Amino acid sequence: MSDTDPIRTSPVSMENCGAALAMTVVPDRWTWLILRELFYGVARFADIQDDIGIPKSVLSGRLATMVDTGLIQKEAYRDGTARTRHGYVLTQKGRDLVPVIVALMQWGDKHLKDGTATLDLTDRRTGTPVKAGLVLEGGILPARRLAFAPAAHGDN
Amino acid sequence: MSDTDPIRTSPVSMENCGAALAMTVVPDRWTWLILRELFYGVARFADIQDDIGIPKSVLSGRLATMVDTGLIQKEAYRDGTARTRHGYVLTQKGRDLVPVIVALMQWGDKHLKDGTATLDLTDRRTGTPVKAGLVLEGGILPARRLAFAPAAHGDN
DNA sequence: CAGTATCCGGTGCGATACTG
DNA sequence: CAGTATCGCACCGGATACTG
């Protein structure tokens, strides 16, 4: 039993909260799963469909809005044949979500599985293992040490 | 125009992917917004409702399943009055999602606003600014340097 | 292969009203 | 204050069929 009054209202309004805004751009499960596919480098419509089991019509719609919101873009490429095909790739804006995806993945590995990862994430340069987390120089900051205060300039 | 064949299938199946599993536990916008409130320390039913504008019945349902999935728990506390009230707090499992929330928030601040944060996140011990990201010792690893390979032990 | 079109059934959202 | 109950309607998911 705690004996202090809890906070009664969020320090940041919905319109000014990056997290809340982010939810409008990545609002549902399918969108996350598609991002995960593109993160893995799976680019083609039918391949994404097969991997995550999404109906074509839904995939079609999601891809369109993700292009609209600037998360992804269409890109042409050549496969073995003469025919030009095209797939989807993350934009920079989409790539900036990679830390979120990785954090989510590692959270799921820890709490929703036996704790073992199925994927080893490393620095492609040095091979050093990589983790997602809160960063200070020199290491990961535990969540409990995180403090927050309204920014000096912004209006909340 | 890229000229290499893209990856045709995800290196990790849906059942073994922590990210995909995580989406089953935090499947929608409301759940994320509730997590955000609890992250801020807003604990009471009506306060959460007011902040994020969720219908009571929906909030009721979400809180129940979040308790079920172990993200949050009910906690009694004393307010000014004699009456015992109760609110919701993150469990350890829920708190482990903080890096995801922070990463999301900073992504939203960067891409969905003018680029300025409304909240300054710092180490509560030292006051040093905090960021979410991919971590190697000594700093943040850019997403482009991230490599992945199936884990040695796991079945994918 | 990469979609669009159509349709139907269920979920679940959100409003309102009610209860301890 | 903290929910539960009820309910109509919209939207979404998924199946199927069709097109370039």
DSSP string, B113-135: SSS--SEEEEETTT--B-EEEEE
**Listed residues A96, A126, A144: the one ending a domain:** A96
The verdict on B63 and B103 lying in the same domain is no
Q: Strand D: which positions are within 7 A of a protein CB? A: 1-7, 12-17
- Here the CATH number for the domain that contains residue A90 is 1.10.10.10
Among B46, B72, B96, identify where a domain stops.
B96
How far apart (Å, rounded) are the C-alpha atoms in residues A71 and A119?
24
Nucleotide nearest to A48 (CA to C1'): C2
A46 sits within 7 Å of strand C by its CB: yes
- Residue B57 beta carbon within 7 A of nucleic strand D: yes
Structure pTM?
0.93
B117 touches chain A (CB under 8 A): yes
Cα–Cα distance between B77 and A2 in angstroms, integer?
5
C-alpha distance from A89 to closest chain B C-alpha (Å): 10
Query: Of B96, B121, B143, at which residue does a domain stop?
Result: B96
pLDDT of residue A154: 57
| pLDDT tens string B20-73 | 999 999 999 999 999 999 999 999 999 999 999 999 999 999 999 999 999 999
- Mean pLDDT by runs of 10 across the 156 residues of chain A is 77 94 95 96 95 94 95 84 83 96 96 91 91 85 85 72
Residue A54 approaches strand D within 7 Å at CB: yes
* CA of residue B57 to C1' of nucleotide C15, angstroms: 10
- The answer to whether B74 faces chain A, any CB pair under 8 Å, is no
The answer, for B67 touching chain A at a CB cutoff of 8 Å, is no
Token pair, residue B154, equals 């796991």
* Predicted pLDDT of residue A80: 64
Q: Is residue B2 part of a domain?
A: no
As a whole number of angstroms, the distance between CA A80 and CA B35 comes to 47
Specify whether A117 is located in the same domain as A68.
Answer: no
Q: What are phi and psi of A154, to 5 degrees?
A: -60, 160
Q: Is the pLDDT of residue B135 over 80?
A: yes
